[in-house]
Copies of this chain bind each other. A is one copy, B any other.
Amino acid sequence: MRADARRNYEKILATARVVFTERGTDSSLDEIAKRAGVGPGTLYRHFPTREALVDALMQDWTDRVASDADAAIATDAPAPAMLLDWFEHFIEHITLHRGAATKICAAMDDPASPMYRKCRVMGEANRRVIEHLDERGELRPGVDPANVMRLVSGVASVADTSRAAIEVRPMLEVVVDGIVRA
């Protein structure tokens, strides 16, 4: 990659992070280009779709989610508390930019999405946590990690979409009770 290309790439990414934080992942791409000081064509060259741009920013959260999974597995807290914590952190990460959770819901089961691979990494992290619970004999039989991931992402999406400040915890408590062996 040429030096000026790389500089533009980084500048666009940094600007996108700021704009997405301010107004969410559905902000105008044109504005990002303008504020990054590049032409719209340049943004396009580096990020052919909005999802490609979100995907590039997702790296951070994906890393954090993965390390949170390790922390969850390492703790010896009781299953419900451990799961609640894990889910809350997960949601915190994927709702960092408004609109992201909903995009993740869509990308999760769509191999054609640019975000698919990172969704898989997060899905793997979740699978590890759930299967760890299973090994401890605390998982309700028939619970599929993929569906847990969909459910929790759904909760994130609902909270993220809503204008009101929705508490995710009460919803997560229901989910946890549905997962942990009675």
Contact = CB atoms under 8 A, between A and B. Distances in A.
A182 to B, nearest CB: 4
B154 A170 contact: no
A38 interface: no
Contacts of A171: 147, 150-151, 154
Contacts of A163: 106, 109-110, 112
Contact of A175 (B140, B158, B178): B178
A12 interface: no
Give how many copies assemble into the complex: 2
Nearest to A155: B154
A74 interface: no
Interface in A61-105: 102, 105
A108 B164 CA distance: 9
B170 A110 contact: no
Nearest to A153: B158
Interface string A148-170: 10110111011001111010001
Q: Is the interface of A mostly helix, strand, loop or mixed?
A: helix
A131 interface: no
A52 interface: no
Contacts of A140: 177
Contacts of A164: 109-110
A3 interface: no
A176 interface: yes
B170 A144 contact: yes
A1 interface: no
Interface in A90-144: 102, 105-106, 108-110, 112, 140, 142-144
A51 interface: no
B109 A162 contact: yes
